[in-house]
A = this chain, B = another copy of it.
């Protein structure tokens, strides 16, 4: 192969759950032709990213090498896999390849950026393949918690790689394709160089459960409900939405979908033929006039998101519907770590309305979409790759998954975002470290995670903000005294005088003492005023605020 090599480079998703973006390359070092697998987002939180709208992988490296990118493959339509295709399309320009359902969702995202749908190429499932540069890629059906999730069979001159995407081993997924071990065996038969594998549930020691196990408990719960029934789940879990809807219909209820994401997913599933027998639904407008004991709402917001339908209902009337004493609200979902406070908040709001809330705490109303440890072991064994590269997990998941592989005598390698791994050669090894990170979509602009912008917001939130203004005349003499504006700070402190007065007094004293050297030098003046302001606040209220000094010179 004359100095050509196969590389694997995770840019997002390896060392975190979310924001998946993996790169494969084949060719001479530095000239490899590239394909990208997934282009996902992750979600901001108040702790680390206040005010941010969405978090994207930093694609600087891809941008610099855009002329080498052959295509972007999307394994499935979850936000952490497809969410960034719209934001990055203009920068990368590469065609997007996905199966029908995923392509439908991807086209919707591109449309928001005015990009035409033909930028997305719809691929058929294995054994059909598409070729881009040195890569021939097939979409291998696998069960997950969204229709048409696919592993990728990536054939290269250096051998076959299987990139699992997100998956579970579900022989009866209700919607979409079941786990088909014979198919996977067939694909593995010629020999697999590397298995790049979902690690999410590596710490779960029991075999995973099928989507079907949720049905009977849901059916019983809804059949016994006396007043209105509202259920939430992940909008993209079309099988679950169907299970819930069918249970509602069997209990004699009209079904109403609430929340844009849920309607969008069901639409896409119907449009692409993934879903052919979803019960007919009523609009939110019509739902309001249906007797509550005959109505079932399926709503977005299983994670307690403030703007989703569940939170709106928790706060009061929404689309003319208001929950009441005796109604039932079902969380057919799990709470993603970090979202607990939001979920608990709406549970308590429902409780205040007299609504009975049921969740999955007993394990009856939700199953995971990811393979548990025994399932991972099954796949390792079946695919029998030379190398196992754990992906889709935090550091602890990847490390554990690599250990699971090693324990069975396989080559497990821990590769995190930014590690470029050469898969050709005797041993997989890191050949380069690429700068990676996060880009924030903030309002309508993208900012870097390290720009200091969000850091400043966090500092203002923790410490408050003091603005000090001074005016100096043409001779660097103060015109009047400095004054202060406070935001996010206590109004009075130790001396019981208004904090703003104490500050202005101390700053005036500083100005009075300051010599010409300080008064004529913006930096020195600013530094001095800042120091005094912080010290005064520390004395008065025990906090050192952020201080902005505005020096105005008449000239």
Q: Which residues of A contact B (CB under 8 A)?
A: 15, 45-47, 50-51, 203, 205, 337-338, 340-341, 344, 347-348, 350-352, 357, 361-362, 394-396, 399, 442-445, 447, 451, 453-454, 456-458, 460-465, 467, 469, 471, 479-480, 483, 485, 487-494, 540-543, 546, 548, 550, 552, 554
- Least Cβ–Cβ distance between A494 and chain B, in angstroms: 7
Contact across chains for A361 and B465 when beta carbons are under 8 A apart: no
Contact across chains for B487 and A456 when beta carbons are under 8 A apart: yes
Apart from A351-B399, A444-B541, 20 more pairs, CB < 8 Å: A46-B50, A50-B458, A50-B461, A51-B462, A51-B464, A205-B362, A337-B344, A352-B395, A442-B490, A443-B493, A445-B541, A451-B491, A453-B464, A453-B489, A454-B488, A456-B487, A465-B465, A465-B487, A471-B552, A479-B554
Contact across chains for A488 and B51 when beta carbons are under 8 A apart: yes
A479→B340 CA distance, assembly (Å): 53
Q: Closest 4 interchain pairs by CB?
A: A444-B542, A443-B542, A461-B461, A443-B543
Report B-chain residues with C-beta under 8 Å of the C-beta of A203.
361
Closest chain B residue, CB of each to CB of A341:
B338
A417→B337 CA distance, assembly (Å): 29
Report B-chain residues with C-beta under 8 Å of the C-beta of A546.
487
Closest chain B residue, CB of each to CB of A414:
B351
Report B-chain residues with C-beta under 8 Å of the C-beta of A548.
467, 485, 487
Report B-chain residues with C-beta under 8 Å of the C-beta of A461.
46, 50-51, 457-458, 460-461
Report B-chain residues with C-beta under 8 Å of the C-beta of A352.
395
Listed A/B pairs (16) with beta-carbon separation below 8 Å: A15-B348, A51-B461, A51-B488, A337-B340, A338-B340, A350-B396, A351-B394, A451-B490, A453-B490, A457-B462, A457-B487, A467-B485, A467-B548, A469-B469, A487-B546, A552-B552
Contact across chains for A487 and B460 when beta carbons are under 8 A apart: yes
Number of copies: 2
Closest chain B residue, CB of each to CB of A396:
B351
Report B-chain residues with C-beta under 8 Å of the C-beta of A490.
442-443, 445, 447, 451, 453
A464→B492 CA distance, assembly (Å): 24
Report B-chain residues with C-beta under 8 Å of the C-beta of A46.
46-47, 50, 461
- Least Cβ–Cβ distance between A422 and chain B, in angstroms: 23
Closest chain B residue, CB of each to CB of A347:
B396
- Least Cβ–Cβ distance between A393 and chain B, in angstroms: 10
A394→B348 CA distance, assembly (Å): 7
Contact across chains for B445 and A493 when beta carbons are under 8 A apart: yes
Contact across chains for A541 and B47 when beta carbons are under 8 A apart: no
Report B-chain residues with C-beta under 8 Å of the C-beta of A485.
467, 548, 550
Specify which of B341, B396, B463 is in contact with A348 (CB 8 Å cutoff).
B396
Report B-chain residues with C-beta under 8 Å of the C-beta of A543.
51, 442-444
Closest chain B residue, CB of each to CB of A50:
B461
Closest chain B residue, CB of each to CB of A460:
B460
Specify which of B357, B492, B550 is in contact with A396 (CB 8 Å cutoff).
B357
Contact across chains for B47 and A341 when beta carbons are under 8 A apart: yes
Specify which of B51, B396, B458, B552 is in contact with A469 (CB 8 Å cutoff).
B552
- Least Cβ–Cβ distance between A105 and chain B, in angstroms: 24
A347→B400 CA distance, assembly (Å): 12
Report B-chain residues with C-beta under 8 Å of the C-beta of A554.
471, 479-480
A460→B361 CA distance, assembly (Å): 37
With A340-B338, A456-B488, A460-B460 as known contacts, state yes or no: A443 contacts B395, CB within 8 Å.
Answer: no
Report B-chain residues with C-beta under 8 Å of the C-beta of A489.
453
Contact across chains for B344 and A394 when beta carbons are under 8 A apart: yes
- Least Cβ–Cβ distance between A211 and chain B, in angstroms: 23
Closest chain B residue, CB of each to CB of A538:
B443
A541→B552 CA distance, assembly (Å): 27
Report B-chain residues with C-beta under 8 Å of the C-beta of A469.
469, 550, 552
A465→B251 CA distance, assembly (Å): 53
Report B-chain residues with C-beta under 8 Å of the C-beta of A340.
337-338, 340
- Least Cβ–Cβ distance between A396 and chain B, in angstroms: 4
- Least Cβ–Cβ distance between A129 and chain B, in angstroms: 37
Report B-chain residues with C-beta under 8 Å of the C-beta of A492.
445
Question: Which one of A203, A442, A443, A467 has the greatest number of beta carbons of chain B within 10 Å?
Answer: A443
A491→B458 CA distance, assembly (Å): 17
Contact across chains for B348 and A395 when beta carbons are under 8 A apart: yes
- Least Cβ–Cβ distance between A45 and chain B, in angstroms: 7
Report B-chain residues with C-beta under 8 Å of the C-beta of A396.
347-348, 350-351, 357
Contact across chains for B444 and A493 when beta carbons are under 8 A apart: yes
Closest chain B residue, CB of each to CB of A492:
B445
A46→B51 CA distance, assembly (Å): 12
Report B-chain residues with C-beta under 8 Å of the C-beta of A443.
490, 493, 541-543
A460→B479 CA distance, assembly (Å): 30
- Least Cβ–Cβ distance between A320 and chain B, in angstroms: 25
